[in-house]
Structure 1
């Protein structure tokens, strides 16, 4: 699946659920929440969690959770791109060009 196709599907899904209405400022709060969940998933996968209220997870369950949270972070970024009418592939090219220029002498 192409990134743009997923973004279009995602925006339609969010609109259907009435989630797309939130402003970019509020959407940033959702992104921050998802980054925190991703941090916890990575920590759990890499060093584990010792919490009495949580069921111990298998390596596969921990890795699936890491993928889920990373996907949630990407989805929030894609919704922000849509809010600002930015094409994801152009953002990726922007990133590459920025890094090439920044490190051109290295």
Structure 2
């Protein structure tokens, strides 16, 4: 699956569920909530510290995968709201890291992003 398809599927799901009209502030709050849920799942796995309502007999990788998916969906929703391409945003970040740390790692699309500045 490529990032353009992921952007389109996120948009379609939001339209189907009636979420497309939510403002960016609302979507950002959902993203923060989902990041918190991911953090709780990682904490549970890494420290073994449980809340009273958590089951210590279950170590379900699917839970972690779903939390990562929730974060991605919410992040893509915010990105779509502002019409930000995932490819361009990610390549711009890699470009920034490459410049900042003087990296020689070849990055596909690096020249395209670098020439648009």
Give the TM-score range, shorter chain. 0.7 to 0.9
- Looking at structure 1, the residues matched to 100 and 27 of structure 2 have their Cα atoms a distance apart, in angstroms, of 29
- Looking at structure 1, the residues matched to 57 and 93 of structure 2 have their Cα atoms a distance apart, in angstroms, of 36
Tell me the alpha carbon deviations over residues 1-53 of structure 1, each in whole angstroms, 9 at most, x when there is no partner.
11221120111111110112111111110000000000001011212243333
Q: Is the 8 A contact 1:81 1:88 kept in 2?
A: yes
Q: Is the 8 A contact 1:11 1:20 kept in 2?
A: yes
Matches within 5 A, 1:8-87: 8-59=8-59, 61=60, 63-87=61-85
| Structure ranking higher in helix proportion | 1
The 1:57–1:19 alpha-carbon spacing in structure 2 relative to 1, beyond 3 Å, is: farther
- Looking at structure 1, the residues matched to 57 and 17 of structure 2 have their Cα atoms a distance apart, in angstroms, of 31
TM-score (norm 2): 0.80
Q: Is the 8 A contact 1:7 1:78 kept in 2?
A: yes
- Looking at structure 2, the residues matched to 57 and 41 of structure 1 have their Cα atoms a distance apart, in angstroms, of 14
Unaligned runs of 5+ in 2: 104-117
Unaligned runs of 5+ in 1: none
The 1:54–1:7 alpha-carbon spacing in structure 2 relative to 1, beyond 3 Å, is: same
What is the CA RMSD across the aligned residues, in angstroms?
1.8
**Corresponding pairs, count:** 104
Give 1:57 deviation, angstroms.
Answer: 4.0
- Find the structure with the greater CA-based Rg: 2
Give 1:102 deviation, angstroms.
Answer: 1.3
- Looking at structure 2, the residues matched to 10 and 44 of structure 1 have their Cα atoms a distance apart, in angstroms, of 29
